[in-house]
Amino acid sequence: MSEQDRHLDIQHTDPSLYNEDLAPVKPQQRGWGAFEIFNVWSNDIQSLFGYTLAASLFLTYGLNGWAVMAAIVLAGFIVMWLVNLSGTPSVRYGIPFPVLMRASMGVRGANLPAMMRAIVGIFWYGVQTYFASTALMLLLSALLGAGDGATFLGLTGWGWLSFVLVWLFQIVIFWQGIEPIRRFLNWAAPLVYGVMVALMIMIWWRAGGELLPAIGTIFSADDNAELSGIGAFLAIVGTMVAYFAAVVINFGDFTRFVKSEQQMKLGNLLGLPLNVAFFSFIALIITAGTLVLFGEEMTNPTAIVERVDSLLLTLIAALTFFAATVGINLVANFIPPAYDLANLLPGRINFRVGGLITAVAAFFVGALWVSVISQIGIAGFVNAVGALVAPFYGIIVADYYLIRRQQLNVQDLFSASPEGSYYYRSGWNVRALIAFGVAALFSLSTVLVPALSNLGGYGWLLGAALGGMIYFALMRQQGTPAG
């Protein structure tokens, strides 16, 4: 047994804190590399929801298009830096997010961020299931006709059938485990890029010489925009960071399977700033083309494909959009809640049971997306959810890098002994709770309180920074704990 294997070997575990799914993944059991991490991010931004958000940013803030592109790319670099920090502990120790949180929140207190993250994951799982179902609905409508148009809760008959089929398909995939999910991602991400490029070329060819003037229209600033240039720029950066926020916080759920820190960082570089820049360029060209071809700027890719009126493109695009959205849903919105729920009751809930609970709860979220939830607005919702959980990121980083100097006692992460390093007070770290409460109240206020609306676009970053600073200050008062 190697020195690192012995370091990750767990003995005398508490059954209320341990099961095999939460245990450290040893180096020889890890099969993920830079390609897998790249595909995590590719599927994330290439999902139907991600495309709609990226395209909407060029139209919403009235900012010059070049500035929008720069803001999106800057957000990619920021997220890359953030996930390199949050992913490193799990590369080294092989532990998922809820177990890592035990070091700062306490072995029992970690259930608070875990359950909040689970709620966020369940919500996004339902939303992305709906978006994936729209791709399948596009396919069914192209092959079998549009139907009679009758709706229930905003969905047609084809819409309900597609939603249920996608929901069941995802259950079949995740029930087989992590490896099938990894394989699914590895072919879905490259394929969807091919389809998006094909759609861009087709739109460009049909728009002809009118495309560049349309791009110029999008790239001209709106003098009547509500936010100033700097304010709009920062709001776009913050919105894009908030879009990735849930994955940023629990990135360790994925990096625990990565072979090395170097592989993780390479995957993040390729998958975030470079990938986001290229995909945003595609979204820009397609959006400008829809203005020329259809007289309106369209941001929903399934609606665009439908209007292009090419049966072959419709069939291919429907399958690939479906694959990309399902792929990121399984990774970003299924794996985290499955671990988080398992952390709540390790003796009764394993990875599969946690995933099944996630799927059942998410069914109702997706079913109500059109008629109720989508009315909130995409950017505002992304900011609100991201702001609420943001302080946990700051707490993780401050605890691991500043308080514990990158050293954890893996054995004590699975121990409920009062003598354990992370037992604190009955398993709860009161200082961490205070840091979270104060920071979350502020960051959420930037989204919900009108007087702080100018800060709303970057509430996540402020909440994360504030949470980390308060936690560090409080923990330093009692001295550096043993790791």
**pLDDT tens digit string along 129-153?**
888 888 788 778 777 776 667 778 7
User: What is the spatial distance between Cα 433 and Cα 96, in angstroms, rounded to a whole number?
Assistant: 20
Highest mean pLDDT among 57-61, 193-197, 387-391, 422-426: 422-426
Residue 457: its pLDDT value, please?
Answer: 60
Q: What share of the chain is helix, strand, coil (3-state, %, to 5)?
A: 75, 0, 25
Give the model confidence (pLDDT) of 463-482 as tens digits.
899 999 999 999 987 665 54
pLDDT band at 413 (very low <50, low <70, confident <90, very high): very high
User: What is the spatial distance between Cα 214 and Cα 297, in angstroms, rounded to a whole number?
Assistant: 10
Range of lowest pLDDT (171-175, 186-190, 346-350, 394-398): 186-190
- What mean pLDDT is predicted for residues 111-118? 89
User: What is the spatial distance between Cα 427 and Cα 110, in angstroms, rounded to a whole number?
Assistant: 9
- What mean pLDDT is predicted for residues 407-430? 93
Q: What are phi and psi of 357, to 5 degrees?
A: -60, -45
- What mean pLDDT is predicted for residues 401-423? 93
- What CATH number labels 30-373? 1.10.4160.10
Residue 315: its pLDDT value, please?
Answer: 77
Residue 211: its pLDDT value, please?
Answer: 79
> Which ranges in 331-409 belong to alpha helices (H)?
335-344, 351-367, 378-397
pLDDT at 216 over 80: no
- Beta carbons within 8 Å of 363's beta carbon, 6+ residues apart: 126, 129, 167
Residue 379: its pLDDT value, please?
Answer: 46
Question: Which residue has better confidence, 41 or 59?
Answer: 41
Give the model confidence (pLDDT) of 346-400 as tens digits.
989 988 899 899 999 999 988 888 777 776 655 456 556 667 888 999 999 999 9
Give the model confidence (pLDDT) of 231-271 as tens digits.
778 888 888 887 887 789 889 999 999 999 999 999 999 99
Give the model confidence (pLDDT) of 317-343 as tens digits.
777 777 777 877 877 788 889 999 999
User: What is the spatial distance between Cα 404 and Cα 478, in angstroms, rounded to a whole number?
Assistant: 13
Question: Which residue has better confidence, 298 or 220?
Answer: 298
- What mean pLDDT is predicted for residues 262-287? 89
Residue 3: its pLDDT value, please?
Answer: 47
CA torsion angle 132 135 140 146 (round to 10): 110
What percent of the chain clears pLDDT 70, i.e. is strictly above it?
88
pLDDT band at 195 (very low <50, low <70, confident <90, very high): confident
Beta bridge mates, 152: 155
Q: Provide the mean pLDDT of the chain.
A: 83
- What mean pLDDT is predicted for residues 49-55? 77
Residue 94: its pLDDT value, please?
Answer: 95
CA angle 359, 377, 437 (to 5 degrees): 70
Residue 380: its pLDDT value, please?
Answer: 57
Q: Nearest-CA neighbor of 441 among 387, 397, 394?
A: 387
Residue 52: its pLDDT value, please?
Answer: 79
Q: Nearest-CA neighbor of 13 among 112, 99, 98?
A: 99
Residue 448 CA to its chain's centroid (Å): 22
